[in-house]
């Protein structure tokens, strides 16, 4: 069975973006050789990316013309992708298809053979999939900054979920990378 892994960067005070959509300047506090290597590893570990509509639109606008390293750019542009949306009818970004029922689609895909399925960003989507018990791991990079306000990564779900720390590491710039296995919701 394939794993579904949620990956995101957040500030120490819990925000994954500033007050405006795509306000991600705080990523500069965390970005460095460790995160670059990690992003390349995602390309080796995964064979499917999942995005909520807002994250999909931002990624699709950035990656086709990105000036990032070839490995990451090639990975992002060539891997299979799902855009979760009730309003999009088609997706122009290479190897992307649109789905409107992510829980049903991901239950099916997790049962198939393949590599890890990653969700990047997409906090609302991750919260809905957590309620369905579909997220297997959280991989989070905590940027060494307090943003003060913004869009929180973890949305209120009305349930408590146990997490088990699998690994942790500290980047040279002070960012902390955490990997948690998702346990049961209570």
What's the order of all strands across the beta sheet hosting 46-52? 96-99, 80-84, 46-52, 116-120, 4-11, 137-143, 176-185, 161-170
pLDDT of residue 119: 97
Position 68 pLDDT exceeds 70: no
Is residue 102 within 8 A of residue 88, CB to CB? The reply is: no
- Please give the helix or strand (H or E) that residue 116 lies within, else none: strand 116-120
Report how far apart, in Å, the C-alpha atoms of 118 and of each of 4, 58, 110, 145 are.
Answer: 6, 17, 11, 25
User: How many domains does one find in the chain?
Assistant: 1
Q: What is the pTM of this model?
A: 0.93
Query: Which CATH number covers residue 19?
Result: 3.40.430.10
> What average pLDDT does the segment 110-127 reach?
94
pLDDT score, position 69: 64
Three-state secondary structure call for residue 153: coil
Domain interval for residue 61: 4-185
- 81-116: pLDDT as tens digits: 999 999 999 999 999 999 999 999 999 999 999 999
């Amino acid at each position: 069975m394939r794993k579904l892994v949620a990956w995101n960067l957040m500030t120490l005070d819990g925000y994954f973006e500033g007050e405006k959509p795509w306000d991600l300047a705080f990523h500069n506090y965390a970005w460095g050789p460790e995160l670059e290597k990690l992003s390349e590893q995602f390309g080796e570990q995964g064979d499917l990316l999942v995005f909520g509509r807002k994250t999909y639109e931002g990624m699709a606008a950035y990656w086709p013309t990105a000036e990032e390293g070839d490995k990451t750019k090639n990975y992002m542009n060539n891997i299979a992708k799902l855009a979760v949306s009730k309003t999009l009818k088609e997706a122009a970004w290479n190897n992307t298809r649109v789905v409107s029922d992510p829980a049903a689609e991901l239950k099916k895909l997790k049962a198939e053979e393949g590599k890890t399925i990653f969700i990047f960003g997409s906090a609302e989507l991750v919260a809905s999939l957590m309620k369905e018990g579909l997220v297997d791991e959280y991989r989070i990079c905590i940027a060494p900054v307090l943003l003060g306000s913004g869009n929180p990564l973890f949305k209120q779900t009305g349930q408590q979920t146990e997490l088990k720390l699998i690994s942790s590491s500290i980047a040279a710039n002070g960012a902390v990378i955490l990997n948690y296995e998702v346990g049961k919701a209570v």
